[in-house]
Amino acid sequence: MGGTLPLAEYLLARLKQLNIGAIHGVPGDYNLTLLDYVEPAGLLWVGSVNELNAGYATDGYARIKGMGALITTFGVGELSAINAIAGAFAERAAVVHIVGVPPRHMTATRANIHHTLGDGDYDHFRSMAAHVTVAQANLSDPRTVPQQIDATLLQCLIHSRPVYIQVPVDVVSVHVDATALSNPLVVPDMIFGTGQRRGVQEIADRIHSAKRPVILIDGETAGLGITDLVAQLVNVTQWPTFTLGTSNGLVDATLPHVYGIYHGAYASQRHQDMMAEADLVLHFGPHLSSTNTSGFTAIPERSKTISFTHGEVQVGDKEIHRDLPARVALSELLHGLEDKKLAGIATKEETNDGVEEAVAAERPDLSSFRDVSLNDAIRQKELWRLLATFLRPGDIVMAETGTAAYGARHMSLPKNARLLVPMTWLSIGYMLPASQGVALAQRELSKTKPTSTESDSGRTILVIGDGSFQLTVQELATISHHRLNVVIIVLNNQGYTIERCIHNKEASYNDITAWRNLLAPRFFGAEEDVYTASARTYQDLERVLRDEQLSHGQTLRMVEVFLDRFDAPSGPLQDMINKQA
Amino acid sequence: MGGTLPLAEYLLARLKQLNIGAIHGVPGDYNLTLLDYVEPAGLLWVGSVNELNAGYATDGYARIKGMGALITTFGVGELSAINAIAGAFAERAAVVHIVGVPPRHMTATRANIHHTLGDGDYDHFRSMAAHVTVAQANLSDPRTVPQQIDATLLQCLIHSRPVYIQVPVDVVSVHVDATALSNPLVVPDMIFGTGQRRGVQEIADRIHSAKRPVILIDGETAGLGITDLVAQLVNVTQWPTFTLGTSNGLVDATLPHVYGIYHGAYASQRHQDMMAEADLVLHFGPHLSSTNTSGFTAIPERSKTISFTHGEVQVGDKEIHRDLPARVALSELLHGLEDKKLAGIATKEETNDGVEEAVAAERPDLSSFRDVSLNDAIRQKELWRLLATFLRPGDIVMAETGTAAYGARHMSLPKNARLLVPMTWLSIGYMLPASQGVALAQRELSKTKPTSTESDSGRTILVIGDGSFQLTVQELATISHHRLNVVIIVLNNQGYTIERCIHNKEASYNDITAWRNLLAPRFFGAEEDVYTASARTYQDLERVLRDEQLSHGQTLRMVEVFLDRFDAPSGPLQDMINKQA
């Protein structure tokens, strides 16, 4: 490419090279000139309704496309988004947070201007962002701008975590060296030395000697960029495979040796036995928070586990092979695996008292409306398996923190469907804006794929409690405006039922103000004929789920499901609320 | 009082002693047990729709009542609110931010639990808060809890800026020493020494020798807690008095020697001459940001100015008398002033070529609907003076960042009415939730006052652009739920007109999604008969403003005023957009 071009063009070109097709954000006077460059760069500008929503949407987009970018303004804008950035850090979404900041002459003179704290210190917000981003850059010297941008984006790629870039408004159009743009930005190869070779050999040996192996696909697998390689491994080995709630759908859940979600202490006895009796667990993308591991009970025993992470592989409880990222290790392993040495289903059957059905994966069956009394009020115990009948290949199901995230783990997924549930950050209000970003990413991806057999594949289905719905509800306007294919299912249980389960279920602070939820599309400017429906009984639910307008619509649709305020899905929440009674 | 009581009771009792009647916030599992204590302590719990809104509402409440308190949960909750806390810091609102944090055994073991970043570091969020609060405390040792609470709240009182208190969920009910509660928490007296006496004498000398003095009441005057004393001074001296936009209504604007807002370079020639010719400016609560001072042009010349701030008084350009807070200095001065030595209006007339009308304050007149063509579309040039006819004594008018904040400065205020406009932080979305807090504070105050002659005094009137309206719109549900007396006037100009004035007025990124704004009350659960109306012409506007339901309603009312997308109030914004044309 060579030559020079304006800073903004360099930055946006890099983002585009990294597969970003849309940028989220909110205008503010320190970023307006930067925004002038967005659409000319061939990027879609998605003006969100506020910065927190924009941050959440970017996170959702990044989880599907691999990376996303957000533009806010100094102080007021960036701080509104910082909770979303923290969530992307905690759960590894590659979000590039670009902040338009005051011109350099004001920073230099410590001028007392708007969007500052009035103390002349322009570095507060960068310092705050440093807690929740893996790299920060202030693009104030045009000579170093290309290198700063590249170095910062590289950290974002490597860690799949947010980075922070300040663009002073007076350098947006200043020319910078464009030479580096000729080469796409890629993570440099890890140079293979003795350590790495020894590591891969050790892992291969453990794999080849395993008699009762299990594969456990965990929540950071997508962030590691190894979903494809793990799928290969699952196919090659045919080994029993589990996911956690946060990784459901990263592997074809309809394969016979894929057992679905491992719930730790809440798993079936058979699943618990399989884990207990395993002599090797290949654990990809471990994310060991209490909420992701059924209160630490789904973590496999360290001594028999090989963990694959961003930077290293740990074998058992002794050795950590550093500088051996999951992707590197797994590529090498897949080349070197010797089929005949692998413990197989056949082998396992022979050594395992020959009960054939023991090798078929046990999955929650889809429920049928024939199994319930149609006039009964809907209960969470049945709801999730009934909702699962609505799913199609290609869907992305999102279940918000609250009873939804717990309940959704009871849903069987069709092939190529994916479930997104919160792992650790658990910020209520996240999922609705995130569904905007997810649906946008889904639409972009569908354009690059060969035409699907489904005329209307790629739905984003958001299930969200009425409490969480309220926090960020206005992002529904953006979903509608961009005509995204999103089904929103609001669970109306009059408040924060998950909190009722945790403590003092009758406390009024867990109630919310009662809204007319189904008016949302009209209020937020959607066309008058947007599909909305409500369901109180199973009969209602069946009618709604079978409605063509709901299932095959192409834009926003919305369903309100009424539930009892104390009703929780089977499992830990139901146990907790029962103990209070 | 003596004895002991649970930590939560101590903390809440202190807040109540400090005149706090309501606490805002959002429940989360690390604060639920703390919330159990709120209503038993005799405090109203106001569950906001999200934490940013709760923070903004608390800021509004604090600006009227002197102090407010907010409860959020660790990580997700507090970070959502941090932009509001930063605003309270920048503009001096005394907000106590209480955060429910994980139990001490989890902190001690660096457990990987939800609402953390997963790195075992529990101190990230306190570190971030330290940038925007004047004191922080973690209440983890019951022996020091009373002292920590008192010390932290004292900083909040002294600086009129936010403080941050972490309450681990496992110490909420632990007993602490209650002895200190017997004494109300007050700012200790400043011990008067030679320095202070010399300072007060110097100020008094300057006051007594002034020939052409001016009083300038600035935006931090309310935060200094000297509004009453400044009013006394204005009455005693009868000196020409100006406010800035941010302090309008802190002094009786109907007094003949009160000249209204000083607009610096945008002020009338006469006002500019008065400032230029003054030989002394008493400047109370200076807040010298560009946005508060018409781009630094309303700042009086240093050498003839005496500035009264939180900790000190600066006389001219040489001497700063430290440890002489505004309130202390002003109390002393008011005792020692000698009327006969004061430059008076009479004196001024004699020395000022005897033109009598020169001493009558020049204020924008109220406009009348007789002055406009009733069928014309409403324009900002006339709008503000017409809206001013709607105001009554006791009203609090709030004008959001955007064209509203500029336009509202053209409104004449009746006696005892107050105008709140943003000073420096200028975070769009602030004003709607803040109006909830303001209205709540107003209602609390009205209960302690002798009955007013107006049957329905104390309206909160929010004027807000349609862009800003969208960011935090759902707080309207809380306004409605608590039956607060709020009139919301939405200026529909299809987006961010203030940004259009600043740069590239045609840019589509300044457009917003088109909502059906007047559906808001219904969507957010208000009663079906809530008053809503729209106005496109002056005739519409006159009809609406004269409607009894609007003017004398007691709960939420809403008006949508349609304006051209490029229409801005006379002054800097209009100049900017004209320059683009």
Q: Tell me the two tokens of residue A291.
A: 């909420």
Instruction: Measure B574 CA to nearest chain A CA, in Å.
Output: 16
A326-356 per-position pLDDT tens digit? 999 999 999 988 877 887 654 344 444 433 3
**Minimum Cα–Cα distance from A75: chain B residue:** B83
Q: Which residues 298-357 on chain A approach chain B with CB closer than 8 angstroms?
A: none
Give contacts of B425 with chain A, Cβ < 8 Å.
75-76, 114-115
- Do the beta carbons of residue A509 and residue A535 sit within 8 Å? no
Interface mutation vs chain A, best among B35, B51, B74, B114, most A CBs within 10 Å: B114
Q: Which residue, B132, B160, B182, sits at the end of a domain?
A: B182
Q: Tell me the two tokens of residue A117.
A: 């704290």
Residue-number span of the structural domain to which B31 is assigned = 4-182
Residues B405 and B551 occupy one common structural domain: yes
Give contacts of A110 with chain B, Cβ < 8 Å.
none
Q: Which residues 73-112 on chain A approach chain B with CB closer than 8 angstroms?
A: 75-76, 79-80, 82-83, 86-87, 89-90, 111-112
A128 with B124: Cβ contact below 8 A: no
Q: Which residue, B297, B326, B360, sits at the end of a domain?
A: B360
Lowest mean pLDDT among A134-143, A331-340, B128-137: A331-340
Residues B395 and B519 occupy one common structural domain: yes
Q: How far apart are CA A508 and CA A511, in angstroms?
A: 5
Of B112, B289, B509, nearest to A114 by CB-CB distance is B289
A27 with B509: Cβ contact below 8 A: yes
A451 to chain B, any CB pair closer than 8 A? The answer is no
B415-469 per-position pLDDT tens digit? 889 999 999 999 999 999 999 999 999 999 998 876 554 445 689 999 999 999 9
Of B49, B127, B515, nearest to A524 by CB-CB distance is B515
The answer to the question of residue B146 being in a domain is yes
Residues A380 and A349 occupy one common structural domain: no
**Minimum Cα–Cα distance from A525: chain B residue:** B515
Query: Which positions ≥6 away from B357 have C-beta within 8 Å?
Result: none
**Minimum Cα–Cα distance from B427: chain A residue:** A76
The total number of structural domains in chain B stands at 3
Interface mutation vs chain A, best among B128, B479, B522, most A CBs within 10 Å: B128
The answer to the question of residue B187 being in a domain is no
Of A116, A474, A519, nearest to B473 by CB-CB distance is A474
Indicate the SS3 state at residue A18: coil
Residues A225 and A296 occupy one common structural domain: yes
Q: Output the pLDDT for position A338.
A: 81
Q: Output the pLDDT for position A364.
A: 57
Residues A37 and A49 occupy one common structural domain: yes
B470 with A481: Cβ contact below 8 A: no
The answer to the question of residue B323 being in a domain is yes
Residues A171 and A318 occupy one common structural domain: no
Band the pLDDT of A493: cuts 50, 70, 90. Answer: very high
With tokens 């200094």, the residue in question is: B224
Q: How far apart are CA B117 and CA B78, in angstroms?
A: 14
B183-216 per-position pLDDT tens digit? 999 999 999 999 999 999 999 999 999 999 999 9
Of A90, A428, A525, nearest to B515 by CB-CB distance is A525
Of A113, A291, A480, nearest to B290 by CB-CB distance is A113
Q: Output the pLDDT for position A355.
A: 39
Give contacts of A470 with chain B, Cβ < 8 Å.
49-50, 474, 477
Binding residues of B for Mg(2+): 466, 493, 495
A127 to chain B, any CB pair closer than 8 A? The answer is yes
Give contacts of A510 with chain B, Cβ < 8 Å.
27
Interface mutation vs chain A, best among B36, B89, B115, B423, most A CBs within 10 Å: B115
Instruction: Report the 10 Å Cβ neighbour count for A108.
Output: 10
B173 to chain A, any CB pair closer than 8 A? The answer is no
Residues A262 and A282 occupy one common structural domain: yes
The number of residues making up chain B comes to 581
Q: In what order do the strands lie in the sheet with A396-399?
A: A418-420, A396-399, A460-465, A486-492, A557-562, A531-535
Radius of gyration of chain B (CA): 25
B52 with A49: Cβ contact below 8 A: no
User: What does the pLDDT average to over B6-26?
Assistant: 98
Helix H or strand E segment including A159: helix A145-159
Q: Output the pLDDT for position A451.
A: 56
Side-chain half-sphere exposure of B223, counting CA atoms within 13 A: 31
The answer to the question of residue A15 being in a domain is yes
The answer to the question of residue A189 being in a domain is no
A32 with B427: Cβ contact below 8 A: no
Q: What is the DSSP string of B114-133?
A: TTS-SSS-TTHHHHHHHTS-
A32 with B87: Cβ contact below 8 A: no
The answer to the question of residue B189 being in a domain is no
Instruction: Measure B389 CA to nearest chain A CA, in Å.
Output: 31
Top-confidence range, A71-80, B329-338, B414-423: A71-80
Residues B313 and B423 occupy one common structural domain: no
Q: Output the pLDDT for position B354.
A: 39
A520 with B515: Cβ contact below 8 A: no
A115 with B425: Cβ contact below 8 A: yes
Tell which residue, B52, B44, B135, B137, has the closest CA to residue B99: B137
Q: Which residues 224-263 on chain A approach chain B with CB closer than 8 angstroms?
A: none
pLDDT at B367 over 80: no
Band the pLDDT of A447: cuts 50, 70, 90. Answer: confident
Residues B422 and B555 occupy one common structural domain: yes
Interface confidence (ipTM) of the complex: 0.95
Q: Which residues 496-555 on chain B approach chain A with CB closer than 8 angstroms?
A: 496, 499, 502-504, 507-516, 519-520, 522-525
Higher pLDDT, B453 or B62: B62
Band the pLDDT of B276: cuts 50, 70, 90. Answer: very high
Q: Tell me the two tokens of residue A422.
A: 């919160």
Q: Output the pLDDT for position B482.
A: 97
Binding residues of B: 466, 493, 495
Q: Output the pLDDT for position B457.
A: 61
Mean pLDDT rounded to a whole number for chain B:
93
- Do the beta carbons of residue B234 and residue B255 sit within 8 Å? yes
Of B424, B499, B513, nearest to A27 by CB-CB distance is B499
Instruction: Measure A171 CA to nearest chain B CA, in Å.
Output: 16
Give contacts of A98 with chain B, Cβ < 8 Å.
none
Of B47, B429, B473, nearest to A509 by CB-CB distance is B47
Residues A164 and A209 occupy one common structural domain: no
A474 with B470: Cβ contact below 8 A: yes
Q: How far apart are CA B377 and CA A116, in angstroms?
A: 37
User: B326-336 and B194-209 helices cross at what angle (nearest 10)?
Assistant: 60
Give contacts of B511 with chain A, Cβ < 8 Å.
47
Residues A497 and A368 occupy one common structural domain: yes
A504 with B32: Cβ contact below 8 A: yes
The answer to the question of residue A187 being in a domain is no
The answer to the question of residue A372 being in a domain is yes
Instruction: Report the 10 Å Cβ neighbour count for B548.
Output: 8
Residues linked to residue B95 through DSSP beta bridges, in sequence order: B68
A523 with B525: Cβ contact below 8 A: no
- Give the Å distances, CA to CA, from A422 to A61, A291, A405, B51: 15, 9, 7, 19
B473 to chain A, any CB pair closer than 8 A? The answer is yes
A424 with B112: Cβ contact below 8 A: yes
Tell which residue, B73, B473, B236, has the closest CA to residue A503: B73
Q: Which residue, B155, B182, B209, sits at the end of a domain?
A: B182
- Give the Å distances, CA to CA, from A13 to A10, A94, A146, B221: 5, 17, 11, 49
Residues A106 and A176 occupy one common structural domain: yes
Q: How far apart are CA A507 and CA A66, in angstroms?
A: 42
Q: Output the pLDDT for position B245.
A: 83
A470 with B480: Cβ contact below 8 A: no
**Minimum Cα–Cα distance from B523: chain A residue:** A516
Binding residues of A for Mg(2+): 466, 493, 495
Instruction: Measure A569 CA to nearest chain B CA, in Å.
Output: 18
A267 to chain B, any CB pair closer than 8 A? The answer is no
Q: How far is CA B549 from the centre of its chain?
A: 28
Instruction: Measure B533 CA to nearest chain A CA, in Å.
Output: 15
Give contacts of B289 with chain A, Cβ < 8 Å.
112-114, 116, 118
Q: Output the pLDDT for position A356.
A: 38
- Give the Å distances, CA to CA, from B116 to A87, A97, A289, B121: 9, 20, 9, 8
Give contacts of B524 with chain A, Cβ < 8 Å.
513, 515
